[in-house]
Structures are given as C-alpha cells and as structure tokens.
Structure 1
Amino acid sequence: MSLGGELLVGAVILVGLLGIVFPILPGGLLVMAAIGVWAAIVGGWAWGIFAAAALVIVLGEVIKYLVAGRSLKSDGIPNITIAVGGVLGIFGFFVIPVIGLFIGFVLGALLAELVRTRNLRAAWRGAVSASKAAVITMGIELFAALLGTAIWLVGAGIW
C-alpha cells in the first residue's frame, strides 16, 4: 500500500480513537474496519495482523461489558439506569453538542435512580456509580483499540 493509503488508514484509526473518547462514532469498530480495509488491500500476511488486532479489540469490547456489569451489580445499580442515562445522553448530545452527552447521561441516570429509590442522596450515588462504570468502559475500549492500533503500526512498519 502506498504511503498516502497508509496515512489515510491511520487518519481513520485516529478518528475511531477520538470516537471512543468523545462517543460520537463507534470507535473500536471504526479502528477495526480501517485495519480490515488495509488488510484487504495489502493482502496475504496482512490478514494475520488484522486478525490479531480484531481479536484484541473484540476482547476489549467483551471485557468492558463484563467489568461494567460487575461494577454496577456490586453497587446495586440496575441496567435500566444505564439505559435511561444513555437515551438522555444521546438527546443531550444534540441539545448541547459533545458535552451534552455527558450531562444528559448523568442527568438520565440521576432521574432513573430517583424514580427507583425515591431518595436524592441514593439517586446521586447511583448516578455517580453509573458514571464511573461508563468511564471504566471507555478506558477499556480505548486501551484495546490502542493495542489494536499498535499491532497495525507494527504490521504496517514491517511491510
């Protein structure tokens, strides 16, 4: 693949990594897709690089849900709290671009917990727990995508 092609793949990977930190795009999937396109163009041994990167990224996706679920379960937070937070986060994103996602998520989790517990202090603890779980999942996904990116960089450098 030409240098320009590899720079383009790298730019898409960068957008994917930013999509994890600023949840606008499905970042991990975008990173994996960019490496997949690179492998399809390069062919041969590049499919091994793609397989290794994809395995790391998919494992990161699975682990993030397991860790978040365990964290929420230990804090006694039901899945509905995350769902309501996610819906209000998406709504908030369109009302207040980028930061509205975080504000909407916390507000949604707080409201869901307030309805469930009928206690503002308990609801706030639940919203904080849900926010911690969201940050942990973001960190795990980013770490896995960065590892996948590192695998691609090694593979692209060898070729």
Structure 2
Amino acid sequence: MGVWELLLVGFVLLLGLCGVLVPGVPGSWLVWAAILWWALKNPAPVAWGVLVGATVVLLLAQVVRWALPPRRLRESGATPRMAVCAGVGAFLGFVLIPVVGAIPGFLGGIYLSERLRLGRHGEAMAALRTAMRSGGSSVLAELFACLLILGAWVGAVIWG
C-alpha cells in the first residue's frame, strides 16, 4: 500500500474519531471501514489480525454502550466545545500515557472546558459528573475503542 493510501486511511480514521464525538455521525463505522479497506489492500496477516481485533473491540464497545445510559448530553448542557475538549484530551492522554491515558484525558478535557466556562472548581466538577451520567460514559467507551483500533493500526503500519 502506498504512502498516499495510508494517509487516506489515517484521515478516515481521524474522521471516524471526530464522528464519535458528534451525535448522529457513525464514527465507529468509519473507523471499522477504514481498517477493512486497509486490510483488503494489504495482504499481510497482521492487517487481517488488526481487522479481526477491531471487529471484536467494536462489538464489545457496542455491548458496553447498550449497558450504559443512553446519550442525553444535549439536555445536560453539553456544548460542542466540551466535546472537542474531551476528544482532544482523550487523544492527548492516549498518546502521552499509552492506552489508559485516554480515560483521564477525556475527563480532564470535560473538566477544563467546564472550568473555563463556569470559572469555579466545584461547579466544573458538578458539570463533569452530570455530563458523565448523561451519556458521557457511552461516548468514552466508543471513543476508547476507536483509539485502541487507531493505536493497533499505527503499530501495524510502523512495525508490520
């Protein structure tokens, strides 16, 4: 697979990560479709392993999302800026502290957004709790699954 095709797959993966944060956009499906396309173009066994792993991770994430409360983030006062901050925080956390850093990064992004908006620690913590109860945990589960898949793809491209 050429460099331009890899860049296009990476772009679709990043688009899928952004889609996870936007209600109504099939972000996890975009991530899975990009991995499928890459695996079909790449005959190496590692590509098929990443595809099978991505399928299993996304199925598990869907099971977890069904067990969590439904998304009602808009009613809780969540803003698009909060979603962007949470996504950037999760991505930075995932990169700085591989894999597990996505969770505190996601929470930190929501806290920072609310702290800047509300100005006080107590109010920002209350808004963080409200956001997580209102569906933030299901967004986190899906985003974490997609970040795991992105990490596996990057690892396979670099070392595979």
Q: What is the TM-score with the length of structure 2 in the denominator?
A: 0.59
Distance 1:131 1:142 in 2: 14
Q: Pairwise CA RMSD of aligned residues?
A: 2.6
Name structure 1 gaps, 5 residues minimum: 70-81, 90-97, 103-127
Query: How far apart are residue 131 of structure 1 and its match?
Result: 7.1
Name structure 2 gaps, 5 residues minimum: 84-128
Provide the residue aligned with 2:63 in structure 1. Answer: 62
Q: Percent identity?
A: 32
Distance 1:52 1:153 in 2: 14
**Aligned AA (1:29):** W
Query: How far apart are residue 129 of structure 1 and its match?
Result: 6.8
Instruction: Kindly indicate whether the alpha-carbon contact (under 8 Å) linking 2:68 and 2:135 is maintained by their aligned counterparts in 1.
Output: no
**Aligned AA (2:141):** I
Provide the residue aligned with 1:155 in structure 2. Answer: 156
Instruction: Kindly indicate whether the alpha-carbon contact (under 8 Å) linking 2:62 and 2:142 is maintained by their aligned counterparts in 1.
Output: yes
Of stretches 128-137 and 26-35 in structure 1, the one that deviates more from structure 2 is: 128-137
User: How many positions carry a matched residue from both structures?
Assistant: 108
Distance 1:150 1:15 in 2: 15
Tell which structure's C-alpha radius of gyration is larger.
Answer: 1
- Map of 1:79-94 to 2, 5 A cutoff? none
Provide the residue aligned with 1:143 in structure 2. Answer: 144
- Map of 1:7-156 to 2, 5 A cutoff? 7-45=7-45, 46-68=47-69, 99=80, 132-156=133-157
Q: What is the TM-score with the length of structure 1 in the denominator?
A: 0.59
1:56-113 per-position Cα deviation (integer Å, ceiling 9, x unaligned): 12211211211337xxxxxxxxxxxx7xx69xx7xxxxxxxx85xx9xxxxxxxxxxx
